[in-house]
Structure 1
Amino acid sequence: MTPRSASEIAAATPADRDRWVDTLRVGSLLVVVLGHWLMVAITPDGQITNALAVVPALQPLTWLLQVMPLFFLVGGVAHAHTLESLERRRPQARGRYAAFFRARAARLLRPTLAFLAVWVALGVVADLSGLTSRPGDAGRLARDALVMVPQLLWFVGIYLGACAFAPLMRDLHRRWGLGVVLALVALACLVDVVRFGGGPELVGNLNFALVWLALHQLGFAWRDGLLTTARGWLMVVVGFGAMGLAVAWGPYPVSMVGLPGEAVSNMAPPTAALLAQGIGICGLAVVLRPAMARVLARPRVWRVVVSAAPFAMTAFLWHLTALMAVLLGLRAVGLEQPAIGSWAWWLSRPLLFAVLAVVTAVLVAVFVRFDQGRRTADDGIVEGRPWVDPVAAVSAGVLFFGILVVSIVGVDVLGNRPVFFLVGDVVPAAGFAVLALGLLLLRGTRPRHQPLPLT
């Protein structure tokens, strides 16, 4: 029977489990959800906008509310644990990479593909009904929603890329330790020097890998006990200090999230300023670790984390859908939102958040099944097929680009309006074609005989 009481859950938790890591994972996704609910708004003339762009004084909040670096930090911890477990159970190297990536990709892609299926269907209905071609606010909002809501999948694509590199980066960590982090930081700063020093803008895209891999690499150091409290304080001081200097004297905006209309974004591509902020907030997590370990040792507190964990990813995927449904519903019945930043706007946020929580909970109840994979009696390593690891690596690259294209150009496959991606215009159908190819390649790495489910 599944433990239900706080004491039973605490007793079932292994003594060596890092409860603070689990809390950071759940908490970072919750902060992202609440941040989006606070920021995204629809103007009276039917434009989807960002409250931070309307009220610039709110932008410094992102110095603490930009918590995606924490998710990559705890991802590194989790990947280190998984790789170590895989090495113990399967000492032979052949097929190990494919098994690792296939499992991580399945964990991410099951809920993501369910999300995309629903939004593609919504786009088809909007096109066939003539909504997306309708002049005025309604048509524009429909077209914008089909691009804006799937943008949250950028995180899935980048995180999948971090998964693909995890075995290699773990090996580098074992040899060079924190030196790998320092090298990635130096390279990311060099990319910005070239980019903002008159070099090609395209070079900045290298930081999609360098910045997020540097933060992911910190997870390996956390796992191995290298991030002591003293080093955590150093990360806080150096990280936030460097971010402050970069914002004050460099070409970087104040906001650590992307805003509409800004000439430079700290997120796309990520900048050295965002990397500094990420190091600072990861350092804060290190500093708080001893105190939070004591707090999380309390059964009732730990029960809250354990209860929320299975739903966090599903809530992340569907919270913007809930937001658009509620905002468009309010608009349809003639209830306009108060002016952004006004007292009425602030006072209405708790009520809006409560409604959004209910709608999101309904969506989570429907779709959480796609975020729950089967436990198996084997890790699925394929014997005697030496090509599966290279094919898995290729599938990782294809899936990475496929998800990123879809996150940028949207899901309106019938309208198929082109959107700029990297070097030119791309239509949504092309993004889905790349994604399908990646899935086909990944499927080819599966074992011939699937392991039996555990009973």
Structure 2
Amino acid sequence: MSRTHPDASPRTASEIDAATPADRDRWVDTLRVGSLLVVVLGHWLMVSITPDGQITNALAVVPALQPLTWLLQVMPLFFLVGGVAHAHTLESLERRRPEPRGRYAAFFRARATRLLRPTLAFLAVWVALGVVADLSGLTSRPGDAGRLARDALVMVPQLLWFVGIYLGACAFAPLMRDLHRRWGLVVVVVLVLLACVVDVVRFGGGPELVGNLNFALVWLALHQLGFAWRDGLLTTARGWAMALLGFGAMGLAVAFGPYPTSMVGLSGQAVSNMAPPTAALLAQGIGICGLAVVLRPVMARVLARPRVWRSVFLAGPFAMTAFLWHLTALMTVLLALRAVGVVQPSVASWQWWLTRPLLFAVLAVVTGLLVAVFVGFDRGPRPAADAVPEPRGWVDPVAAVSAGVLFFGILIVSIVGVDVLGNRPVFFLVGDVTPVVGFVVLAAGLLLLGATRPRAPRT
């Protein structure tokens, strides 16, 4: 799965279709764009502000909506297509760099840069908003306005959990690709079994902390399916088996196990299927990935139509930027409506359903404006993984360390928020941390990653 950028001049559907390599998996590109679009629409549907100024979730207000997450939780698809993309990139890198020294650093540096450039632009804006809110006294103001400002500075950056976890998958990709080459789908089976063992220990009276192992096991299992997809191991028959077994196991886990109905996290729940991920979420992920496998032949024929493929091709370069900024658009619109006295209808009422299309249209315009401003950070110069031999033997281990530091830095920021002047502590793993700590860890990871850059050639 490679990300492409349309030329500066308009291109017709026929031209784009003719320029697309015959071996390109168009369904993979569509899954990537489509999964992020579903996340955006899902957040727009779920998040609202109550009349008393509370940020709430429609799924928590109306539990009958929670089964929708069985199909709307599409992050497993993104990790699936991420595995496909990483397999392609690693194969290409091996051809260009026969010498293994420096290959890992080149791979991780390239992937991390593409993720972090737009992410850092997003964080810079939200840190600035937090500083303005603190200096103006908004965050310390009693009442709804102050609470909403404080909540927004924590709630909106929460979407960065995905960036952190996906960056972790990137860091493990070379190792997991090697394991796949040797053991194939056995690796997926082992990861699934280990994730189940973690839940047995966690819910059987063991330490809660052990559940955090599933942040790696669950998402790496789904990412590993991408390697199998790339190598043609996920046949239609296996796709049906994945869908039936995955959704069947999820249904049993929800009905008879300690797992909630919702496959997305909801505040106030004693158990979340997302933080940390559970075996129920893994089963749902395998099920929805199985559906993607089953639909692959049909969608390949649909995407062979030039006009259909053109829409996916042109949307691809904007998907990540839209994901980063869609909650900013949502909070901007909801707060603006509140400021002018427009009260949101009760969640799941007929008025609420009727006004969703209009709200979505407004949000799409605001998000489009934000994307137009910030998409340049996602389109910046790509770090080259050239074939020049790497004389520095230490770059690979340093890159691996930087991956771990960046992982924790982004996760801390996603949990504690960006209010660096307020610097309110929030619990993370084993103790309280503050936004400043998160940004210090993130900066350390960036410095380590920067140390692995290729040296400029001497003249």
TM-score interval for Structure 1 and Structure 2 normalised by the shorter chain: over 0.9
Are residues 1:305 and 2:308 paired? no
Q: Is the 1:192–1:272 Cα contact (8 Å) retained in structure 2? A: yes
CA displacement 1:247-295 (0-9 Å, x = unmatched): 0000000000001111000000000000000000000000000000000
Q: Is the 1:55–1:340 Cα contact (8 Å) retained in structure 2? A: yes
Using the TM superposition, give the Cα deviation of residue 378 of structure 1 relative to its aligned residue in structure 2, in angstroms.
5.2
Are residues 1:182 and 2:189 paired? yes
Q: Which residue of 1 aligns with 2:104?
A: 97
Q: Is the 1:380–1:446 Cα contact (8 Å) retained in structure 2? A: no
CA displacement 1:366-400 (0-9 Å, x = unmatched): 00000013256653766210000000000000000
Using the TM superposition, give the Cα deviation of residue 224 of structure 1 relative to its aligned residue in structure 2, in angstroms.
0.2
Q: Is the 2:96–2:387 Cα contact (8 Å) retained in structure 1? A: no
- What CA RMSD, in Å, does the superposition of the two structures yield over aligned residues? 1.2
TM norm structure 1: 0.98
Consecutive aligned runs of 4 or more in structure 1 exceeding 3 Å deviation:
375-378
Seq. identity, %:
87
Which residue identity does 2:353 align to in structure 1?
A: W
Q: Which residue of 1 aligns with 2:54?
A: 47
Q: Is the 2:114–2:382 Cα contact (8 Å) retained in structure 1? A: no
Q: Which residue of 1 aligns with 2:263?
A: 256
Q: Spell out the pairing of 1:55-454 with structure 2 (5 A cutoff).
A: 55-375=62-382, 379=386, 383-449=390-456
Which residue identity does 2:259 align to in structure 1?
A: Y
Q: Which residue of 2 aligns with 1:34?
A: 41
Distance 1:60 1:379 in 2: 47
Provide closer, same or farther for how the CA distance between residues 437 and 297 of structure 1 changes in structure 2, counting only shifts above 3 A: same
Q: Is the 1:3–1:12 Cα contact (8 Å) retained in structure 2? A: no
Which secondary structure state, in structure 1, belongs to the residue aligned with residue 427 of structure 2? strand
Distance 2:326 2:163 in 1: 15
Structure 1 gap ranges (5+): none
Distance 2:291 2:10 in 1: 32
TM norm structure 2: 0.97
Distance 1:128 1:381 in 2: 50
Provide closer, same or farther for how the CA distance between residues 5 and 264 of structure 1 changes in structure 2, counting only shifts above 3 A: same
CA displacement 1:65-86 (0-9 Å, x = unmatched): 0000000000000000000000
Structure 2 gap ranges (5+): 1-6
CA displacement 1:118-167 (0-9 Å, x = unmatched): 00000000000000000000000000000000000000000000000000
Q: Is the 1:239–1:277 Cα contact (8 Å) retained in structure 2? A: yes
Distance 2:349 2:269 in 1: 23
Q: Is the 1:99–1:381 Cα contact (8 Å) retained in structure 2? A: no
Which residue identity does 2:144 align to in structure 1?
A: D
Which secondary structure state, in structure 1, belongs to the residue aligned with residue 48 of structure 2? strand
Q: Is the 1:382–1:447 Cα contact (8 Å) retained in structure 2? A: no
Q: Spell out the pairing of 1:8-19 with structure 2 (5 A cutoff).
A: 8-19=15-26
Alignment size in residue pairs: 451
Provide closer, same or farther for how the CA distance between residues 205 and 356 of structure 1 changes in structure 2, counting only shifts above 3 A: same
Distance 2:301 2:42 in 1: 28
Distance 1:373 1:69 in 2: 27
Distance 1:64 1:450 in 2: 51
Q: Which residue of 1 aligns with 2:3?
A: none
Using the TM superposition, give the Cα deviation of residue 55 of structure 1 relative to its aligned residue in structure 2, in angstroms.
0.5
Which secondary structure state, in structure 2, belongs to the residue aligned with residue 134 of structure 1? coil
Which residue identity does 1:229 align to in structure 2?
A: T
Distance 1:139 1:191 in 2: 40
Provide closer, same or farther for how the CA distance between residues 24 and 328 of structure 1 changes in structure 2, counting only shifts above 3 A: same
Distance 2:217 2:388 in 1: 30
Distance 1:34 1:109 in 2: 23
Q: Which moved more, 1:369-378 or 1:385-394?
A: 369-378
Provide closer, same or farther for how the CA distance between residues 419 and 375 of structure 1 changes in structure 2, counting only shifts above 3 A: closer
